[in-house]
Amino acid sequence: MNKKKTILILPGDGIGPEVCKPAKNILESVSHIYDLGLSFEEALVGGSAYEETGIPLPEETLEAARKADSILLGAVGGHQWDELEYQYRPERALLGLRSELDLFANFRPAILSKHLTSSSSLKPEKVENLDLLIIRELTGGIYFGEPRGRKEDKPVAFNTMIYSQEEIERIGRVAFEAAQKRNKNLCSVDKANVLEVSVLWREVISDLSKEYPDVKLSHMLVDNAAMQLVREPKQFDVIVTGNLFGDILSDIAAMMTGSIGMLPSASVNSENKGMFEPVHGSAPDIAGKGLANPLATILSAAMMLRYSFGFEEAASNIEVAIDKVLAEGYRTHDLEGSQDTQLSTDEMGKKVLDNLKN
């Protein structure tokens, strides 16, 4: 029997609890099928934590995250917390977890299922067989840079974008190694024509490329990269970029896959301990209605099995089960399909679970 591995589930806000429920059910099932030894704990985070404790990331949650072998997160945020002071906003919990656990490498795959080509916002010939990976640096850059703040005597606010050579090198190595396992093509995205921090980024990535002669490296300015993702997305294999640019580009890539409800993500540290979450937000407008697409969260759970634990067979079988559900024509409301094949959140999770067991 495998040694017990603890997964901390942080359902969060909005649709977070709804999409975490089927993902947990599937993780429990594969743990039983493959004798993986998974156990589960749950804690508050985001707006729900603020309502209970007055802060979005309670010390109890942070301590549980430190002790857990991996973390599955639903979503945080909601309109009712939009007017809170900066330090109390639900999103601060995400930044806190990333920083405290040093989750510096964010993997955001954009893979279009052959069964969802018609659901993409781009022409079928532009996105058919799309399979690209965006690797976003997650613990540096403008989201964490100091100084930051507002001038009280005038309507002025400021943030600072900072990257060190060490930070760039470590995310660069992750990206080069990922490219080696794929098609050996890496595009580094920056804004080196106007930002000093991007000049350093480009220099460090270029120097690092000498250690990976089998990987073809190119550089692209972020505004051009955004345009190229829409114009010809299949030209990319792996993209590596900083925190702010990665945040924006990964959401652009999301819409090519039919729905943001289809995109998982992994945020890992140097020991492959990670936090796995769907790219979508808390979607308070549909919370509680059974309309949320759980597939991104289920795919995030599969990424967890692969990246944190090395359970490749279990991860692949979850992905195959999802593909089979889509091949059968079943959809959630965010995906193009007929009313007869539209499923609720729980129904979609059950369909995936049934296919997994079979």
Verify that 245 and 301 share a domain, yes or no: no
Kindly list the catalytic residues.
143, 191, 223, 247, 251
Verify that 76 and 134 share a domain, yes or no: no
One-letter amino acid for residue 38 of the chain: L
Task: Select from 257, 275, 307 the last residue of a domain.
Answer: 257
Residues near 302 by beta carbon (within 8 Å), at least 6 away in sequence: 264, 314, 315, 316, 318, 319
Verify that 158 and 186 share a domain, yes or no: yes
Q: How many domains does the chain have?
A: 2
Structural domain that includes position 230: 121-257
pLDDT of the chain, 358 residues: tens digit per residue: 467 899 999 999 999 999 999 999 999 999 999 999 999 999 999 999 999 999 999 999 999 999 999 999 999 999 999 999 989 999 999 999 999 999 999 999 999 999 988 888 888 899 999 999 999 999 999 999 999 999 988 899 999 999 999 999 999 999 999 999 999 999 999 999 999 999 999 999 999 999 999 999 999 999 999 999 999 999 999 999 999 999 999 989 888 887 888 999 999 999 989 999 999 999 999 999 999 999 999 999 999 999 999 999 999 999 999 999 999 999 999 887 667 789 999 999 999 999 998 8
Verify that 126 and 230 share a domain, yes or no: yes
CATH code assigned at 355:
3.40.718.10
Q: Is residue 116 part of a domain?
A: no
